[in-house]
Structure 1
Amino acid sequence: MPDSRAPYLPVNCEFHDVLEATAMRRTAVEVRFLDDDGVMQRRTCRLVTLSARDGVERVELDSGEHVRLDRLVSVAGTALSDFPAPT
């Protein structure tokens, strides 16, 4: 189960590039992520912006939700697990 106090695990730079490109296109996509209780959530939404604060990167969805990048499962069919963890 994810813990909002757990250390942030950086995501692969290539996956980050996918997120940036998706946000720039401003089209609605399916976003899957784990919420604070570890429950899979699914939204069809636009990615508004990517940001970093206190060493944690987040994406803002057009619903107003902010999701830690290390909680993302997939965006527009591209899975975080398709990319190797950064070293």
Structure 2
Amino acid sequence: MSRPYVPINCEFHDVLETVAVQRRSVPMVIEADASEHALHARIVDITAHDGVETMRLDDGRIVRLDAIVSVDGVHRDAFPPTCTVR
């Protein structure tokens, strides 16, 4: 059974969308199998299905957004857990 999806901060989501639109291959760190894994890839698409947001990478891998530790040197922990609406 997989763990429940935890939505990511909307500003971090904006970082992911910017990298995807720029179509750049970037360094990223993801959590998988209770450890962190570094990779270098291009985000092809960001989607949501059944309440879980994912990104598809150029190597075909599908990664849940809540498993991303950092993308292009930007760490998800640099943002608060939730967005504040002003």
TM-score past 0.5 threshold: yes
Query: 4+ residue runs of structure 1 moved beyond 3 angstroms?
Result: none
Residue 20 (structure 1) aligns with: 17
Q: What is the distance in 1 between the residues matched to 2:28 and 2:46?
A: 14
Amino acid at match of 1:7: P
Q: Does 1:45 align with 2:41?
A: yes
In structure 1, the residue matched to 2:81 is 85
Rounded to whole Å, the distance in 1 between the matches of 2:7 and 2:80 is 11
Match 1:30 to one of 4, 27, 30: 27
Paired residues in the alignment total 83
Cα deviation per residue 1:42-75 (whole Å; 9 max; x = unaligned)?
Answer: 1111011100011100011111111111110000
Within 2, Cα distance between the matches of 1:80 and 1:20? Answer: 14
Unaligned runs of 5+ in 2: none
Identity across the alignment (%): 43
Distance in 1 (alpha carbons) for counterparts of 2:74 and 2:64 = 16
- Residue type at the aligned position of 2:23: R
Structure 1 residues without counterparts, runs of 5 or longer: none
* Matched position secondary structure for 1:8: coil
Structure in which a larger fraction of residues adopt strand: 2
CA distance in 2, matches of 1:9, 1:38: 16
Question: Residue 73 of structure 1 aligns to which amino acid in structure 2?
Answer: V
